[in-house]
A and B are shown apart, each in its own frame.
Chain A
Amino acid sequence: GENVEQHPSTLSVQEGDSAVIKCTYSDSASNYFPWYKQELGKRPQLIIDIRSNVGEKKDQRIAVTLNKTAKHFSLHITETQPEDSAVYFCAASKVSNYQLIWGAGTKLIIKP
């Protein structure tokens, strides 16, 4: 079955700097890759997603890149702000059922 690995587990960056979180997946049939942000005690919130027919997608300060050959995808956050502090999860699934397999999460800390 699918397995998703996520790194790093904790990332501390200075406010204003960029943050990059990386994930790898094992099932080459996976073709949908969302990223979720979860603040303490709150629900996961979808922040961006990418499908396998696209190599990169951007939404304001957030971008996701996908390398199908290497089976990895990354989240990039530029000009980080204190409100970006949260746990970020990557996930992978097939379009056939959208059963999400999740990474273990990255705790992002923005230092003022």
Chain B
Amino acid sequence: DTGVSQDPRHKITKRGQNVTFRCDPISEHNRLYWYRQTLGQGPEFLTYFQNEAQLEKSRLLSDRFSAERPKGSFSTLEIQRTEQGDSAMYLCASSPSGFTGGGEQYFGPGTRLTVT
């Protein structure tokens, strides 16, 4: 499968615990995005990388959230001291860059986080 993959697919954790999610983008895509989606809503942008550089972060991304893409390939999203409000689907997407033909974002299956 050459699409975007995410791991784990589901995570149940207790409030206050730390969790880390992984995203593997399509191999030739140098842009990688993280979104959060709650039931009945559209995805909300969290952050994005061009290669290994984190270029933008949403105000939604509190100090408890951190994302990395150390070698410009896979990315991790960590949430520290989880809260019940963090329960959501965390989606990763990747896209090629370039003025023409770039920008199409392809999504992974998501990681569903439940904080109890």
Beta-carbon contact of B95 and A95 below 8 Å: no
A-B contacts at CB below 8 angstroms, number:
54
Least distance between B2 CB and chain A CB atoms (Å): 15
Beta-carbon contact of B109 and A42 below 8 Å: yes
Kindly state whether residue A12 has any CB partner on chain B within 8 Å. Answer: no
Beta-carbon contact of B103 and A93 below 8 Å: yes
Chain A residues, CB < 8 A from B108: 43
Kindly state whether residue B48 has any CB partner on chain A within 8 Å. Answer: yes
Kindly state whether residue B70 has any CB partner on chain A within 8 Å. Answer: no
Kindly state whether residue B65 has any CB partner on chain A within 8 Å. Answer: no
Please tell me the number of chain A residues within 8 Å of chain B, measured between CB atoms.
Answer: 21
Beta-carbon contact of A89 and B42 below 8 Å: yes
Beta-carbon contact of A99 and B45 below 8 Å: yes
Beta-carbon contact of A101 and B45 below 8 Å: yes
Chain B residues, CB < 8 A from A32: 103
Beta-carbon contact of B109 and A97 below 8 Å: no
Interface string of A17-42 (1 = CB under 8 A from B): 00000000000000010100000001
A42 vs B107: C-alpha distance when bound (angstroms) = 10
- What are some 24 contacts across the A-B interface (CB < 8 A)? A32-B103, A34-B103, A34-B104, A34-B105, A43-B110, A44-B91, A44-B107, A46-B105, A46-B106, A49-B104, A89-B42, A95-B99, A95-B102, A97-B56, A98-B33, A98-B95, A98-B102, A99-B33, A99-B45, A100-B45, A103-B42, A105-B40, A105-B41, A105-B42
